[in-house]
Amino acid sequence: MYTKPENGRVTNIKPLMAVLAGSPEATPPIWLMRQAGRYLPEYRALRQKASSFLDFCYTPEMAVTATLQPIERFALDAAILFSDILVIPDALGMPVTFVEKVGPVLEPVTDARGVDGLKPGDGVTDHLTPVYQALRILRADLDPGISLIGFAGAPWTIATYMVEGRGGHGFETVKRLMWQAPDVFGRLMDRLEEAVAHHLIAQIEAGADCVKLFDSWAGVLPEPDFARQVIAPTRRIVDRVRAAHPDARIIGFPRQAGDRYAVYAAETGVDAVAVDQSVTLATMKSLAETVAVQGNLDPQLLVAGGEPMEARIREMVAGLAGHRHIFNLGHGVVPETPPEHVAALVAAVRGNA
């Protein structure tokens, strides 16, 4: 029996794992996407010591410290490994740099030569050994009631960065490659699927309790491409991870999937689906009939704080009571977020349950 004194919760199974395994918790487990990051002064101080963002990710001691910073401050129910989805293109031999105020910049891969010149997908785990080392240290250090989450980008989202050379813009180049050169694009997606499956399996073997697939740009795909580029590769990755580890718990986040979250939940075989802030509580309840559902406070409401945030938290916690709910945001914590608002959020979620 393990007792977590800060909030009086007494449990012998990690709350996040209980919800993923099928039982609702009276107090929903809570963690936040980008819970480690620039909104924390201790993160900014640590970040200054690294020569580059990727060096930061590949130095186990630094990655461990960053992972634990939000846990030490807020006693969250889960620690997510400090890393990035773009370690996969880096491990495939494609240099990635993170430019201040711009974000990630890559040398775009737009043709057969670029795609076929990438390293093999099953080789990424050699390049990523420092990531697994960080997980092993975390596994040993973490309080036993706190879950450890590993993650990867999903193939479609990683492909958008690799083909566009940057993130979150028009997606013209990647869509054109997908439709005009389906064989080349398919080979890129296959390579990514292979790499992601190996990376997730290695993270579970290094001690992750569960893994999450971030498909941040899933919502930009029309039909039938959403089924082909989001659902199908995710299903195959889930199958490969479960073939290696039948009990593996997997969270999927096809961001901005709208009315396609339900088919994603039904067809991919994930244990939980994370939803963005546009999804209603009614839809979350209906998703929670078959999978755990994670989300979905607006990250800007966390910046605003105060009564509007607290009112929405009360609504969410009451509305999803008795359901398999994991409290989170609809997307990552933004750098402008006052840390004391995160403390207030955690207290409100636990106080209102």
Q: At residue 223, what is the residue type?
A: E
Binding status of residue 238 toward ligand CP3 by CB under 6 A: no
**Taking Cα atoms as reference points, which of 193, 182, 192 lies closest to residue 112?**
182
β-bridge partners, 293:
273, 325
Concatenating the DSSP letter of every residue in 61-125 gives HHHHHHHHHHHHHH--SEEE-S--TTHHHHHTT--EEEETTTEEEE----SHHHHHTSPPGGGHH
Pairing mode of beta strands 325-329, 96-99: unpaired
Binding status of residue 80 toward ligand CP3 by CB under 6 A: yes
Binding status of residue 16 toward ligand CP3 by CB under 6 A: no
Q: Looking at residues 119 to 158 of the shown chain, list those that interact with ligand CP3 (rule: CB under 6 A).
A: 151
CB closer to ligand CP3, 114 vs 332: 332
Binding status of residue 327 toward ligand CP3 by CB under 6 A: no
Establish whether the linkage from the previous residue to 224 is cis, with ω within 30° of 0.
Answer: yes
Q: How far is the CB of 70 from ligand CP3 (least distance, A)?
A: 7
Active site residue 38: yes
**Where does this chain touch ligand CP3 (CB under 6 A) — which range of 4-12, 36-44, 263-271, 275-283?**
36-44
**Where does this chain touch ligand CP3 (CB under 6 A) — which range of 82-90, 222-230, 271-279, 339-347?**
82-90
Binding status of residue 332 toward ligand CP3 by CB under 6 A: yes
CB closer to ligand CP3, 218 vs 301: 218
How far CA 321 is from CA of 93, 234, 326, in Å, comes to 46, 29, 11
Please say whether the beta carbons of 81 and 135 come within 8 A. yes
First to last CA, the chain: 22
- Single out the residue of 19, 25, 27, 35 in contact with ligand CP3 (rule: CB under 6 A): 35
CB closer to ligand CP3, 216 vs 296: 216
Active-site option among 132, 161, 261, 264: 161
**Where does this chain touch ligand CP3 (CB under 6 A) — which range of 76-84, 218-226, 259-267, 303-311?**
76-84
- Single out the residue of 73, 98, 114, 310 in contact with ligand CP3 (rule: CB under 6 A): 98
Please say whether the beta carbons of 219 and 156 come within 8 A. no
Binding status of residue 167 toward ligand CP3 by CB under 6 A: yes
Binding status of residue 203 toward ligand CP3 by CB under 6 A: no
Q: How far apart are CA 13 and CA 345, in angstroms?
A: 23
Active site residue 39: no
DSSP letter, residue 327: E
Q: How far apart are CA 10 and CA 292, in angstroms?
A: 21
- Single out the residue of 214, 226, 264, 327 in contact with ligand CP3 (rule: CB under 6 A): 214
DSSP letter, residue 243: H
Residues recognised as catalytic = 34, 38, 47, 84, 161
Contacting residues toward ligand CP3, per CB under 6 A: 33-38, 47, 53, 80, 82-86, 98, 103-104, 151, 167, 214, 216, 332
